[in-house]
Amino acid sequence: MNKSLSGIGMTSQRTRARLIERLREQGIKDETVLAAMFEVPRHLFVDEALASRAYDDVSLPINFNQTISQPYIVARMLEVLRGGGPLDRVLEIGTGCGYQAAVLAQVAREVFTLERIQPLYERARKQLRELKIRNVAVRYADGSLGLPDAGLFDGIILAAAAPSLSAVLREQLAVGGRMVVPVGAQEQWLYLVERDAAGFRETRLEPVKFVPLLIGKA
């Protein structure tokens, strides 16, 4: 864990501990994920006017019609992504404000995160640098294409809803890898895609609500 993340500003241990207890009550069991959620100061990733709500279990606006996902959804997706095991190289699509990337940095050896909206990319990169998180590479890119030049990933996670399960992203999974992706337009579901030597296996998990995955840089 990165010790520079703890005890900053208004994030008292008690406030964060209450959030972790709520996540446990909602069914999150992965203690590695819960420890990572406790470690990262969520209020630093939202506008100052919303800081008092940073540890509520709600999504919050971060400008440009984007949101920071509610803590339960972040924890749930990371728990599914880990599948009870360690993560080596992870690709995140939709950096947003950088909060989920900061949590991923606590549970994965190396994180690549892509953001298509330039002001959000710059903000996230600055925030992660200020928190001295050194195992996250932030790139300004069209996330719908993934990051084929970086090789294969043992985890891929999307912070926006894809219209369908992407074959392009699927092919960037290593054998043994897992991809967690919201899929759909009006009705969205969270899917787990697993790759093994025989091919791909898809599992529909639960209904979710995300902003749509858009194509191209903005």
- In sequence order, the 6+-apart residues with CB closer than 8 A to the CB of 51 are 10, 43
Q: Name the residue type at position 141.
A: A
Which domains occur in the chain, in start order?
Answer: 3-208 (3.40.50.150)
Specify the pLDDT at position 7.
43
State what percent of residues in the chain have pLDDT above 70. 94
Q: What is the pLDDT of residues 38-56, one digit of tens each?
A: 999 898 898 877 877 788 8
Question: What span, in angstroms and rounded, lies between the C-alpha atoms of 177 and 156?
Answer: 8
Give the catalytic positions in this structure: 69
Categorize the per-residue pLDDT at 134 as very low, low, confident or very high, splitting at 50, 70 and 90.
very high
Does the pLDDT of residue 164 top 70, yes or no?
Answer: yes
CA-CA distance, 132 to 149, in Å (whole number)? Answer: 26
- The pLDDT of residue 30: 97
Predicted confidence at residue 218, as pLDDT, reads 66
- Summarised one tens digit per residue, pLDDT across range 192-213 is 999 999 999 999 999 999 988 8
25: confidence class by pLDDT, cuts 50, 70, 90: very high
